[in-house]
Every structure is written in structure tokens, then in C-alpha cells.
Structure 1
Amino acid sequence: MITDRVVLLLVLSVLWPSTALPFTPGNIGNLFGMPDSDGRTLQRSKRGWMWNQFFLLEEYAGNDHQYVGKLHSNMDRGDGNVKYVLTGDGAGSLFLIDEKSGDIHATKRLDREEKAMYSLNAKVLDRRTNLELEPDTEFNIKIHDINDNEPKFAKETYFASVPEMSEVGTSVATVTANDADDETYGNSAKLVYSILQGQPYFSVDSENGTIKTALPGMDREVKENYQVVIQAKDMAGQMGGLSGTTTVSITLSDVNDSPPRFANHSFRVTTVESTEIGGAIGRIKADDPDVGRNAEMEYSIVGGHDTFNIITDQTTQEGVIIIKKALDYESKRDYEFRVEVKNTYLDARFIHGLQFKDYATVKVTVEDVDEPPVFTRNPYIIEVHEDTAAGSFVGVVSARDPDADTKPVKYSIDRHTDLERLFNIDSVNGTITTLKALDREMSKWHNISVVATEINNPRQTTRVPVFIKVLDVNDNAPEFAMSYDTFVCENVKAGQLIQTISAVDTDEPLVGHKFVFSISATNPNFTIADREDNTANILTRRGGFSRREMSMYFLPVVISDNDYPIQSSTSTLIVRVCACDSRGNMQTCNPEVLPFSDGLTTGALVAILLCVVILLMIVVLFAALRRQRKKEPLIISKEDVRDNVVSYNDEGGGEEDTQAFDIGTLTHSDLCWAAEKTPIPPITSRPSPSRSPSRSPSRSPLWNPNSCQLLNCGSVVKWSFHSDVMILFTDRCVGQFGSFSSCH
């Protein structure tokens, strides 16, 4: 920029040989105010032109510093008093200025792709005072681009796909490259795309890099993948331009353009007759070169089949043949049917002219296996009456060997199902009989298992349940349904209801129970009225009952059923006589009357009373014996012989101790013994301690109540017990005894 006093001169060493200041050709003099060719004095224009932008080529390869331009001020008289200073981007490092001349040089190679423009400030200073002679002037240095960068793709390899059989011109993918050179300057960044590899299948748009199909009918089943190389070249593709390449991997995606086909149109399958229903017996497979859902197939039997079915294994795309109905070698051994296969999903573009299905024939052969016996029925339900005697016929089961080569079968009962061994079976003909009599009231049903076994192959067995129902026979008599607590009031009137009774019967007649109740027609006290609903009312025949006359009545009631043969029983209803109020409410009954259980017979009641009487007699007798053993108190007399009692302080020992005491000193002259009785044997002295303690079995007892009789004994003075010998002392007699026969 030029002020009133300063002229800034820029010289471009490469692009412009003269000053960088704008001027009109031939008018250099106007820089200094000199007259032009017409003799007119020219005046300086004040900043009416632009000089503040300079240009510099990038990537300078010279040995010297690259010259940028020159700054010059009118204040500079060439005497060295003016100093030029440069500040801003890269000043002092990238750009240097000569303080005296104002020449600017670049010290390094500059890369436009790193920085395309630098902003700098120019100053003019007085060297002596360091004061500014001109205001700061800003200018730019723009780096001119050269073609030093090749086009680059973002990826080395791109992946794309296009459906097979696509029409020509179908877009596949677009790949673009970038060039770091200046797009606004020359053709350094103008790119042109071309295909180096991949023809004639694909083409590329030279301007935008869009890849398209170039060949019709590309079949994935023939070739699935293509490697296409795309080139991007700058300088508009002209010679000398730089280029870059990338690879595009293009895969043809599948479409359903191929139908399924059987490689073999006839299949043979073999299976055994014992294969379970739902079991697979074989697989068939069709081929489809498509992939994914386009290769999914469905198998079916043409026209259907009652014995076989076919389903599709979604994993392997095979047809699995399964059994719908049990096979029997003896009934049918060979089967044949036709199988159809077709795609699950169809593409409307390809169904015209192609049949997307195929057919094959399947032949199935059934092989024989050794099968277990088969019962004619399963299960068996048999009925038998409960009164059937042991050994009676119950029913027959039958089984056969289903194989073509029929084998004999034997029968048996699984005893785990007949623990009571109530039944038997004939091993040859399967006839079931009873081993014991059956009772329906104990068990209404018997569930047993019969086993049929091949005689030649015991491993081949079959079980069948046999349910035996025991039919009822009227073999139980009805009886009271419950125990009744019945009473009649003393003030009752004739015809008064005192009890309603009912009955139960464990039998089960076909038409239901019908019970008949009756009592003796001559009963003077009570009558009965059958209500025709298996209940009956007990009524009084008279009034005026009295507890004093009879506190309890035993009323036999006969109950009969209506089945065949008729069963009846007699139950006893006990009726107590009680005192009641005017409204018939019981107040008190005879407390001595015990509540007996219903149904007791008269004989049973008599036996109970007799037992009670005997028990009372035993108690009384025991009490009398206890009182007899209590004696009178001692009587002291002049003839008291208590001083003659010798105490030995010895107990126990048994029979040998009876010889240890000599009571001869106790002999009294007043003893009186019956002359006809045998006198008391003498008592020997006590044996020495060294004598064996064993008993002598031949020794006679000391006292025999039948040998003598104690008479006129007088008063009892004292009892003394030694072992099993009891000595009685009286005032006139002494005796040894175990018991008295009499004492007067």
C-alpha cells in the first residue's frame, strides 16, 4: 500500500520481473510525482490499487532461498537510515527480510497442502530512533499449487453385492477418491475414473466412480464373486497425471432362479414292523443350487398316504419319511408312493417357463421281527358272584403270536397283583378260576395282571390287565343304622312316638334296599309302624309306665330285606323308663339302670349280672377272712407263760430250719390233745453251721393239721413266726400249725 510518503515496491522474482506495484504501462513516473508524456504533473493516488497479495510456488527445489518480493518506502533515501521489519505468519523463520533493501525470501520448501496462505505485516522504521516512518501494512503470500499429490481412495478394498441376473446398467456401488491438490487452480485435482480389471462384466462412470453391471445374465451358480480394480487419475486423465487405484469385491447375491431337482428319481427304504408310530424310517433329498431361503424346500406325498408321511428337515432340507400307522409284516410287506418337492419361496421373475418342482418314487419294504403275543382284548373286564365257591370258573383270556411263524403261548398271573392268591389260570387255555371264596363286602374289584409268554422265547411277553368285578349276593342281614338312646316317660299316653329307627345293609341290591321292621304282635307295651322309607316308628301301646315296676324294657326288633334270599336279623332296642315333665321332657331315669349297648341278648345280660354277683361274693369273703385274722388283745394271767418264750432271731432258710428249734421246754401239763390223733413229732435241735443246707426230701413236716386237733385252747396270748412255722402260746396249750381246723 502507498501512503503520502512511502512507496512499497514488490518484485516477484518468478512471475513478474518488475515491481509488484500496480501501474499503467508507461506510467512508472507516477510513483514519484513526475509529469507524464503530455507534460501534466501526476498526483499519487491514495491506496486506490491493490498490492497486498503475493504468490509463491510450493515445493521449491533450488539451493538458494526462494525470492518472494521487495518492500520499498519513499522515505528511504538510500543512506541506510531506513529499517524494514517483517512480522506475522512465519516471519523470521519461513520468511526473512533484508532490513536495508527490503528483499523478502522464503527459507524452506513450502507445501500448499499444509498451509495455502500466510498473512504478514510490513514496518518501516527509523534506524536511529526506531520510530515508525510508515503505518503497519498487511499483505498475504499465497502458495501456488503444483500437482504433487495423487488421488487416494478411502479404502484399499470395497465390498459390494448385486443380485444375479440383474439387467445391464444396474448400479452396484460408487467409489470416490480424494486429491489433496488445489481444486481451484489448474487440473491438479480434476479426477477421471476408469476400470482396469472387471470387464466385460462391469463398467464405471468416469466422473463419479459409480460401478454398474455391463453384462446380462450373470449367474451366481456359474460365478459368484468378481474382483474389480478402479483407477482415479488427476489432470483430467491426461498424460502425466497422477493416479490411485482400489479394488472392489463384488458378490452376486442369490435369487430363486433354480428349481429343486432329485438326483435319483427312485428311492428304496427298508424298515422293521416294530417301528413305533412317528418314527423315521428313511430320508430323501433333492438338490437346489440356490442358497438361503431360495433353497428351502417342501416335501409331500402325492395324494397323501394312510401309513406314511413325509416332513422337511429345515436344517438339512431333506425329506424325512415317518410312520403314521403301525406296520404289520404279516398283513402287508411292501409299499410304494410318489413324493413331490418344491421351493417354499418363489420369484415371480423366473416362474415362467420353469417348473419349480420335481417328483420321485419311494418304495418301502417291511421286515419281520419276533413280536410278543397279542391279547384279543385289552383290558379284560369279568364279573363273578361273591358266593362263587373255590375252583369256580371266572373267565377266559386269549393271546396269540402275531408272527407268520406262529409259536405256542403260555399264561400266568403276576402274583404281585394277586397277593392273596384268590385266582388261578390255566397256563394252556387261559381259563381263570377262583382259589378262594370271594366276598364283595371285603373287596368289590380285583385287578390282576395276566402274562402271556412265548414258550420258545421267554423274553417275548405281554401283559394285560384283568378287572374282576365281584357281583353282590344277598348274604348279609340288615341291622340298626346306629345305637339308640330310647326312653319312655312314666306319664306317656298310648300311641305316643318314642323312637324312629332305621337300618343299613352292606349288600347292594340292583333295585335298592327295602327293609321291613316288625316286633312281636303280642307285645303289651310297644307297637311298630313301618314308614315305607326304610325307617319305622316305635310307639307305646299303653300308658302308665312305672320305674318301680320296670325301669327298663328290652324290645326285640326284626329287620328283613327284600332281596333273594331274604335276610333278616333281630336287634334289641333298650327302652328306659324315665320321669318327665308335662311337656314330655326327660327329667330323671332310674340311676341304677346302666346304659347297655343295643343289640345285647337276654342271655348276655344275665351272664353280666352273674359275674357281678360272683365278684361281690369274692370281695365279701376276702373281707371276712381279714377280720378273722384280727385277734383279741392279750390277757395277762397268773399262768402267763410268756417268760418261756425263747427268741432265736433267725429267719428264712426253708425246711431245714424246722429242725433247728427245741420247744420241749415249752411243754405244759395243761395241754390237751385228742387221743385219737397222732402226737406232734419231737423237734430236734438246730443243725450245726457246717451241715449242708440242702433240704431232706424225706423229712416229715413239723405240723400236720390233720394229725391232731387243738381243743379248749383258751385265750390266745402270743404269735411267734419262725420261717414257715407259726407257734401259738396260750394259757393252757402250745401248738405248732400252719392253720387251725377248729378252736373252742
Structure 2
Amino acid sequence: MTVQQVLLLLLLWMWLPHPCHTEMLFRRTPDVRPKSFGGRTSGHDGKAIHRQKRGWMWNQFFLLEEYTGSDYQYVGKLHSDQDKGDGSLKYILSGDGAGTLFIIDEKTGDIHATRRIDREEKAFYTLRAQAINRRTLRPVEPESEFVIKIHDINDNEPTFPEEIYTASVPEMSVVGTSVVQVTATDADDPSYGNSARVIYSILQGQPYFSVEPETGIIRTALPNMNRENREQYQVVIQAKDMGGQMGGLSGTTTVNITLTDVNDNPPRFPQSTIHLRIPESSPVGTAIGSVKATDADTGKNAEVEYRIIDGDGTDMFDIVTKKDTQEGIITVRKPLDYETRRLYTLKVEAENTHVDPRFYYLGPFKDTTIVKISVDDVDEPPVFSRSSYLFEVHEDIELGTIIGTVMARDPDSASSPIRFSLDRHTDLDRIFNIHSGNGSIYTSKPLDREISQWHNLSVIAAEINNPKDTTRVPVYVRILDVNDNAPQFAVFYDTFVCENARAGQLIQTISAVDKDDPLGGQKFFFSLAAVNPNFTVQDNEDNTARILTRRNGFSRHEISTYLLPVVISDNDYPIQSSTGTLTIRVCACDSRGNMQSCSAEALLLPAGLSTGALVAILLCIIILLVIVVLFAALKRQRKKEPLILSKEDIRDNIVSYNDEGGGEEDTQAFDIGTLRNPAAIEDKKLRRDIIPETFFVPRRTPSAPDNTDVRDFINQRLKEHDTDPSAPPYDSLATYAYEGNDSIAESLSSLESGTTEGDQNYDYLREWGPRFNKLAEMYGGGESDKDTS
């Protein structure tokens, strides 16, 4: 316990009634009832006097909180006027804390507190007291209620609900501008003394801020505080009870104060002059560079708008404000030309968009700078005198005629010569050409408006010194019409005249067309090439004409078709004309003039037979003829079966000798000695492929120098097949399995030809080989054919 608390307790001790003198007395009150039996008595005037019950006479008890003594703290004393001190009465205590927090001496009525009491937990306690007869346990007085009130001492310091407060105030605020209010609370009794009376003071934050002692409102104390100089401040506030007097308890809190921005600073360009460069070839809209003014403010107070306010390039350049970076982007507004102007000067202004009227006294919130833009020279492509050219020319001009000239120049100061050429993708037929030196376009092929009325060309101009740098220009050539086409019939006319036609009868209306397109429109005239006794033409003067008959009756037997030449001419210069011939058939018609038949052969047919019926009959006849021809072909095919039935068996004149014979053991081999070459007659040799049953002496066979049997046989077969038109030219394969008896060639085996015994003569093969091939073609055969004639 501090010295201040001890002094406070002593003051309270002297000021309050002493607890030892505090007691609750039970007193009797006069009985107003008359004395009589049963408790009633009579007064002198004979009226009844009622005796009232005894009641408690008590005082309020007071107890000082936070008692720190070692003994129980004395509260007060209960006493009844019936207590004679002989111990016959017993005092009983009940209510808040009775028996635990508060105890009573049942003989003397003394009340004590058993522990330290905190008023902030409970400010008073309500108890009930009663005195009873110890012997009979009956109450001598009715139960009465009393209060023990806890006297406060300054044992709680003021506290703030927040340890740290955050607040803000606009910069440049006037002195006394309210920033924030802080409030501290004290748990002590505000109705008793000064324990809960709080006074505020500032411990840190002078001289910028102050605090009102009674309310805790923090205010600005220094004028024109500038955020750009200092933005954050920390203020410490103290709250002290006891009215701020010595001995009071205190608590503190921290307030972080931020100066918010106001627009009190104008934008400023870091440089008075800015230099930029751009090539003259830069297209419109190209960004040249940027300018930026700095502003010490933040947020919307630092937003700047840029504009060009003066200079010799106001019509050549624009400036756009880029919001995210607060820059001014300078762009090209019109095409630049180094040869025309090489340097431009602009005066650019930057101004705040949100100006605070309170700070107009600080001056204008804007700034200016000079921007100089240099245009760099670029080798530019040629420039045509026009953006496009249109030439008109008649279609009948001579080849090589100049239809027009394009002109281009080098815009650079060097003025290089220009070379012209045509883009051949725009003139695939090469109808036009151009002089490379002067740009004159002339024709290289005839023009025909009726084929193409317009030609869209593209001319290329390039500098001779820099051929890669080119420029194109469109050239439109319109072909003007010339009357160079004669009119013709509009359609093909299928004209007929009835046999029973009358003179002056209309048989056809004709019209004409012309590929030309005269300015005044088409006008055609129709006439006959010569006077015709049968027909005439009548011009309707509306580009049509009528064909009329000049006599009565026509006969198909005499003339079935008439040819009528009609002359068609136009009216343009030079006049063009043509002769168209109408073919007029003579037809049989009914009474209404409807055509029935136009051929003379139709007269031989039964009456009433229509053209459709005739066509059907002809089709049936054709079908029957086709069937008969097919039937005959099939029948002939059955007579002579093909020698080879499968495509896989077709060979190309292959003669295969795949049987060499039985060698010496082959005694049944076919004798083909008759097929031998007469010039190669030799002695017989024994067969070596089989073992002979009997041995015999080789003998010579008489020579057959003419071989007439084989020759006749082969020639006969060749003749038969050469004269047979049904013999197909099949490729066939003939196998000669037997060489025949007494063959001078013996075996045709390749094994024999490979031996060294004697020389083999194959001259007979050269003589008869082609005939064998022909024979194979006639008879076919195959590997399974083992017989031969």
C-alpha cells in the first residue's frame, strides 16, 4: 500500500463514524393498547390502549474495502434492549455472505468480516438480523434487514479500451482541428470522492498536438503541418484519476496520427526543355516520346492533364495523357516531311485536374515546358502525282498507241530517277505495256470491249538507286465501245409454214441482238436479201420484224424446206449488217394451224399415227436386230472353243521342251527324225536315259532331203487357219514330249548340250522354230498335251 493510500485511509477513518461505535439496537416502543387481560389495558379516559410490538432500531453499517490487517475486520454490533447481559439472548445473522464473509458473535452481537472485500466486485451486502431466547428459541423481536455498504478507496487506475489508436487529419489543417477522442474508464466509485475523476494530458506529441483535459479530444496544435515534410506522428495520452492531483492513479495509450494529402502542390516539369527525334516516315499515330511532370501530392491530387498550348507544330502533333503513369505521350498527327520542315517546337502544359479552392493562394497548379522535335531524313519511296489514274480508250485503236501516262517523283532531296513497270499479275494477258523511263502506258495487243470492258492495272515505281523501295498506284483503263459487231438473230428460230397457209399469214416474229452498246441505244432494221415470191419481211420498227407468206398453199411433195435470207443492220457509225437465214419447213397442220407432221415420208404411213408411235416402232426393230446379232455371235462362239480358257494360261509364243526323254533307257520315244535339218544328218546314237531291252547296231536312216510330209502338214494347217476368220490369235504353249524315233538330234536336253562329247547342231531349230511357234498358236496345248502329229 502506497503512502497516498495510507493517508486516504486515515482521512476516511476520521471522517466516517467509527465502526466500534456502530451498533444496531433493539428498542421498545410504548404500548398504546389498554391494560387488560390478554394484553389489553384501559386508559384514564376509559379508552383502550393497544400495546405495539417491539421493533429493530438500527443504523447502516459501513465497511472499508481492501482491508489488509491480520485480524478479522470489525463491521458493527447488533444489540436488543431486551438483552440484560445475562446471555439469555442469542443473535442470528442471515443474508448475503452470512456465515462465510460475515460472522456474528451470538452472545455479544459483534459482526466481523472474514476476508478483504473489493467494492468493485460488490458495493453493498443485504443481511437480516434476529434475536431469539436461547432457552425457548423464540424470537424476542421480529427479523429485521440491514445493509453493509462498502466504502470505496482509490485502488483502480484509469484504463483505455484500446492500447493503440489510429487516426488521421488533413495536412495544412488550422490549429485546433479535432483529430480523435480517447476515453479512459475508472472502476472506482464515481459518486464518492475523486477516485474516478479522470483528467487527460499529453505525454508525447508536442508541439504538434494537444488534448482537452476533461474530454480527451486530441486537436492539432501547430499550423500548416505539411504531409510532404512529415506524414506520421505518434502521440501518447495519459489519463489520471483523483482529478489529476498528486497520489492519483494513471494509465496511458498511444495514438498514431497520419496526415492525409490535400492538393497543395502544383505539378513541376523536371526540365525546362525536352528534345525528341522522329523519322519522317513515321505514320500518323506514331508515339514520338513522353513528357512527365512530378507532383508531391498523391492519389487524385497528383493527377495531371497535359495539353499543347503553343508552338509551330500544334497542327502536326497531339499529346495524350496516360492515366496509369501520369505521362503525356506525344504522337504524330499529320505526315511528316523532312524536305518541308526539319524542326518543330511545342509548348506543353501540365495542370492538376482536382484543384482545392482553399489553396488557390499558393499560386496556379500548372507548369509548362518546351518540347523540340527533330525530323530525321529517310529514303522515301517514289510518290505518284495521283492516288489513282483513270484512262479511257476506244477499242479500235492501233497497237502501240499510248493510252495515258503516270508520273512519280522522288520526294527526297537527292531526287533519284524513277523506273516504271507493270505488275503482271494485274495484266496476265499482257495486253498493255509501259515505258520504264516516262511512265507511258501503251497497248501491245488488240482491245475488245465485248471481251473485257475494264482493265485494272497496277503500276510500280522504283528508284533506280534503290530498287527495293517501291510504290504502287492503281490504273483503271476503260474500253470505249466502237460499232464493230453486226447484229444477229437473238435466238435460233424453228420456223414452219402450213400447207394450207394463206397469203399474208404471220409465220414467225424475229428479233436481233448486238454485242455493241451505242450511247443512243440499239436500233435494228430488217429486210430481205432479195425479193422472194413465197415470203416477205415486215419491220415492226421496235427491233423486231414479222415473216409473212406471199401466196396461198405450200406442198411438202414439191418443196419441204425453204431458206429465207434476212438482212439485219444497225444504225450506228459505221453501219454494221449481217444476213441471217431462216429455215422454213412445210408442215401439215390442222384447221387451227397446229403443226402435225413436217416430213414427206409421213404421207405413206397410216393416218393418225403419231411421231411417238413411229419412234417406238423403230426402237423395237433396233432391239430385235441387236438380239439376232448377239444370238448368231454366241452360236458361232460355241462352235469353236477358245484354246486357252484362263487368262493365267496365256503365254507369249513360249515353246517349252521340258521332257528330255528317257535317255538310254527310253526305247519308246517319238521319232522326230522327219523334223531334222537335212544338212545335219548324223548317225544314230543310243538312248542314254533308259536301259535298252535289246542291243542293236546303230544304223543310218535314209535322208529325207525335202521333208515333204511335215512341210505339207504344216503348210496345210497354216493355210486352214490363215483363211479361218473365226480363229482367234491366242498365245499358246505347245509341249513336245517325244522326240520321235531315229532323231538325228537325239535328246534336246540341256544336259546333252553341256557335254563335251561332240558338237551339237541346232540349225534345224533356226529353220523350224518360227513354224513351231505358228503351230503352237494354232493348236495350243500346254504341259499336259503329250500327243503331237
Query: What is the TM-score of this pair, normalised by structure 1?
Result: 0.70
Q: What residue number does 1:588 align with? A: 596
The match for 2:356 among 330, 342, 347 is: 347
Who is 1:472 aligned against? 481
Amino acid at match of 2:713: A
- Taking the aligned partners of 1:115 and 1:152, their CA distance within structure 2 comes to 20
Q: What are structure 1's unaligned runs of at least 5 residues? A: 1-11, 22-27, 35-40, 595-618, 631-646, 665-686, 700-721, 724-744
Identify the residue that residue 633 of structure 1 maps to in structure 2: none
Deviation at 1:149, TM superposition (A): 1.9
| Match of residue 142 from structure 1 | 149
The answer to whether 1:217 aligns with 2:224 is yes
- 510 and 136 in structure 1: CA distance in 2 versus 1, 3 angstrom threshold: farther
TM-superposed deviation, 1:531: 3.3
1:335-484 alignment, distance < 5 Å: 335-352=344-361, 354-388=363-397, 391-484=400-493
Query: Would you say the 8 A contact 1:386–1:440 is kept in 2?
Result: yes
Letter in 2 for 1:379: S
Moved more, 387-396 or 196-205: 387-396
**Is it true that 1:16 corresponds to 2:51 in the alignment?**
no
The residue identity in structure 2 corresponding to 1:561 is D
Report the more deviating stretch, 424-433 or 184-193: 424-433
Equivalent of 2:341, from 304, 327, 332? 332
User: Any idea what the Cα deviations from partners look like across 1:251-285, whole Å, max 9, x if unmatched?
Assistant: 33333333334343322222221222122223233
The one of 518, 531, 536 equivalent to 1:509 is 518
User: Paired residue for 2:617?
Assistant: none
* Counterpart selection for 1:195 from 196, 199, 202: 202
Given that residues 19 and 62 in structure 2 are in contact (C-alpha distance below 8 angstroms), is that contact kept between their aligned partners in structure 1?
no
Partner-residue secondary structure (3-state), 1:556: strand
Distance in 1 separating the partners of 2:130 and 2:501: 154
1:207 deviates by: 1.7
Which residue identity lines up with residue 165 of structure 2 in the other structure? Y
1:330 is displaced (CA, Å) by: 0.9
Aligned: 1:660 with 2:667: no
Which residue of 1 is the match for residue 123 of structure 2? 116
1:120-140 per-residue CA deviation (whole Å, 9 max, x = no partner) reads 455667778988776654444
Retained in 1: the 8 A contact 2:508–2:547?
Answer: yes
In structure 2, C-alpha distance between the alignment counterparts of 1:593 and 1:61, rounded to whole Å: 159
In structure 2, distance between residues paired with 1:587 and 1:80: 167
**Given that residues 551 and 593 in structure 1 are in contact (C-alpha distance below 8 angstroms), is that contact kept between their aligned partners in structure 2?**
no
- In structure 2, the CA distance between the partners of 1:192 and 1:396, relative to structure 1 (3 Å rule), is same
What runs of 5+ residues in structure 2 fail to find an aligned partner? 1-14, 32-48, 603-621, 634-638, 645-651, 654-708, 718-735, 740-763, 780-789
Q: 2:23 corresponds to which letter in structure 1?
A: A
CA contact (8 A) 1:30 1:43 kept: no
Query: 1:405–1:16: structure 2 CA closer, same or farther, 3 Å change rule?
Result: same
Alpha-carbon separation, structure 2, partners of 1:576 and 1:650: 56
CA distance in 2: counterparts of 1:650 and 1:537, whole angstroms: 69
Q: Percent identity?
A: 58
Name the CA distance, whole Å, in 1 between partners of 2:116 and 2:477: 117
2 CA distance for matches of 1:43 and 1:16? Answer: 34
Amino acid at match of 1:336: T
What is the one-letter code of the residue matched to 2:67?
Y
Compute the displacement of 1:542 (Å). Answer: 4.2
- Range moving further from structure 2, 364-373 or 551-560: 551-560
> Residue 300 of structure 2: SS of its match in structure 1?
helix
One-letter identity of the residue aligned with 2:287: A
Q: 1:489 to 1:222 in 2, by over 3 A?
A: same
Which residue of structure 2 aligns with residue 7 of structure 1?
none
Deviation at 1:155, TM superposition (A): 2.1
1:153 maps to 160
Partner of 1:428, secondary structure, is: coil
CA positional deviation for 1:81: 7.3
* Cross-structure match for 1:106: 113
Mapped to 2, the partners of 1:103 and 1:550 lie a distance apart of 171
Which residue identity is paired with 1:151?
P
Counterpart-to-counterpart distance in 2, 1:316 and 1:429? 54
Q: Report matched runs for 1:168-179 at 5 Å.
A: 168-179=175-186
Cα shift at 1:153: 2.0
Question: Who is 1:298 aligned against?
Answer: 305
Q: Secondary structure at the match of 1:416?
A: helix
Distance 1:650 1:593 in 2: 48
Q: 1:308 aligns with which of 317, 321, 328?
A: 317
State the Cα deviation string for residues 414-457 of structure 1 (Å, max 9, x = none): 33333334433333333334443343333333333333333333
Letter paired with 1:558: V
Task: Output aligned runs, 1:479-494, within 5 Å.
Answer: 479-489=488-498, 492-494=501-503
* Aligned residues of 1:189 and 1:235 also touching (Cα < 8 A): yes
Following superposition, the deviation at residue 534 of structure 1 comes to 2.8
- How far is 1:404 from its partner? 1.6
Whether the 8 Å contact between 2:590 and 2:596 is mirrored in structure 1 is no
User: Where in structure 2 are the equivalents of 1:255-274 lying within 5 Å?
Assistant: 255-274=262-281
Instruction: Confirm whether residue 531 of structure 1 aligns to residue 525 of structure 2.
Output: no
Counterparts of 1:318-329 in structure 2, within 5 Å, are 318-329=327-338
Question: Quick one: distance in 2 between partners of 1:348 and 1:116?
Answer: 59
Report the aligned-residue RMSD.
Answer: 4.5
CA drift at 1:329: 0.7
Whether 2:187 is the aligned partner of 1:180: answer yes
Q: What whole-Å deviation, never above 9, does each CA across 1:191-234 have from its counterpart, x for those lacking one?
A: 22222333333332222122223333333334333333322221
| Matched residue type, 2:542 | D
Rate the CA distance shift 1:551–1:99 in 2: closer, same or farther, 3 A: farther
Deviates more, 1:86-95 or 1:441-450: 86-95
Structure 2 distance, partners of 1:352, 1:13, is: 67
Corresponding residue SS for 1:152 = coil
d(CA) in 1 for partners of 2:558, 2:103: 160
Partner of 1:246: 253
Shift of 1:243: 1.9
Q: Is 1:171–1:211's contact at 8 Å kept on the other side of the alignment?
A: yes
Deviates more, 1:490-499 or 1:556-565: 490-499
Task: Name the structure 2 match of 1:228.
Answer: 235
From the superposition, tell whether residues 650 and 433 of structure 1 become closer, same or farther in structure 2 (CA, over 3 Å): closer
1:271 aligned counterpart, secondary structure: strand
1:533 match: secondary structure: coil
Code of the aligned partner of 1:247: T
More helix by share: 2
What CA distance in whole angstroms lies between the structure 1 residues aligned with 2:770 and 2:149? 157
**Could you give the per-residue CA deviations for residues 514-561 of structure 1, whole angstroms, max 9, x where no partner exists?**
232333452334333333333333344445455565555444333333
Tell me if 1:57 matches 2:64.
yes
